[in-house]
């Protein structure tokens, strides 16, 4: 019998789709939702399930940015055989995404027992939500927002890629929040920071989902909940991406900062009173 029902899978799919690319921590919100529904947040099958339904959100990125991805991949393919193409920014950018993904892959494999064990605690989520909010606010204030997407460099990609490790080790910090904050500190504008976060998330999150698939299916989650959660995640994430890009073009990240602090404090209160099991 599946540890997650189809109805619970649909709810978690909505949460994943809404929060995966917003800088509010999808992992944190999933763990909070799982806790409220009585699902064990540190169960290997549950951890695997949350990683797999992320693939639905990543699929939404692939569809939304299909033309950009085709352009970048095509430039990379041409550059493998044509030296002249190697001076093209898209060719370089494709390699940067590959290189920038390696650090989180290495740390993810090495720290898997910690990520699925002690660091899966809701106490960690609450603290990371609040601390990450401070980092995001500071980054938005410090950044000069003067560089666009075409101005990104190898250094930018590597630093932003490495920042994903913060979200891996401290669920609640937010992968989007960490990457966007780092990009802002590097003076990228908000739209460029957001798009870079999307592109860097594609290989990291897809790889995590495929890697965890065996755990999700083999240790207690049925195929039907996985399909439902992933499908719902895709639909909701597509709408979330479109909204976020419009929002950051005109607004700061302050609304997300306030929201994260409120959720973090509320979570601490629920855990402190025993209303929610860590």
Q: Residues 73-91: what's their mean pLDDT?
A: 93
Q: According to the model, what pLDDT value does residue 223 have?
A: 83
Q: What is the pTM of this model?
A: 0.86
* Structural tokens at position 250: 């005109």
Q: Are 276 and 28 in contact (CB under 8 A)?
A: no
Dist CA 128 CA 135 (whole Å)? 10
- Residue found under tokens 């607004």: 251
CA dihedral 221, 34, 60, 74 (to 10 degrees): -70
- What is the pLDDT confidence band of residue 52, given thresholds at 50, 70 and 90? confident
pLDDT(245) > 90: yes
211 burial class (0-12, 13-18, 19+ CB within 10 angstroms)?
middle
Please state, rounded to an integer, the average pLDDT across all residues of the chain.
Answer: 89
Share of the chain above pLDDT 70, in %: 96
Distances from the Cα of 10 to the Cαs of 163, 215, 222, 236, 263, in angstroms?
A: 30, 19, 13, 11, 22
């Amino acid at each position: 019998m599946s540890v997650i029902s189809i109805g619970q899978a649909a709810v978690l799919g909505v949460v994943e789709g809404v929060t995966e690319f917003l800088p509010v921590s999808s992992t944190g919100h999933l763990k909070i939702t799982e806790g409220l529904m009585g699902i064990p947040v540190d169960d290997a099958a549950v951890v695997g399930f949350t990683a797999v339904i992320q693939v639905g959100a990543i699929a939404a990125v692939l569809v939304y940015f299909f033309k950009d991805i085709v352009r970048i991949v095509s430039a990379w393919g041409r550059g493998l055989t044509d030296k002249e193409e190697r001076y093209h920014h898209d060719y370089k950018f494709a390699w940067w995404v590959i290189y920038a993904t390696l650090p989180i892959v290495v740390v993810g494999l090495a720290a898997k027992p910690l990520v699925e064990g002690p660091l899966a605690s809701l106490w960690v989520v609450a603290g990371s939500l609040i601390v990450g909010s401070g980092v995001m606010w500071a980054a938005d204030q410090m950044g000069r927002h003067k560089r666009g997407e075409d101005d990104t460099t190898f250094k930018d990609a590597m630093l932003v890629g490495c920042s994903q490790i913060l979200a891996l080790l401290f669920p609640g910090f937010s992968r989007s929040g960490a990457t966007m904050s780092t990009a802002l500190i590097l003076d990228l504008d908000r739209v460029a920071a957001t798009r870079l976060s999307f592109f860097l998330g594609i290989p990291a999150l897809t790889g995590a989902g495929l890697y965890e698939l065996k755990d999700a299916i083999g240790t207690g989650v049925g195929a039907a909940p996985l399909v439902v959660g992933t499908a719902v995640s895709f639909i909701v994430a597509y709408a979330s991406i479109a909204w976020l890009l419009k929002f950051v073009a005109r607004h700061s990240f302050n609304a997300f900062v306030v929201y994260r602090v409120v959720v973090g404090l509320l979570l601490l209160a629920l855990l402190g009173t025993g209303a929610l099991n860590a």
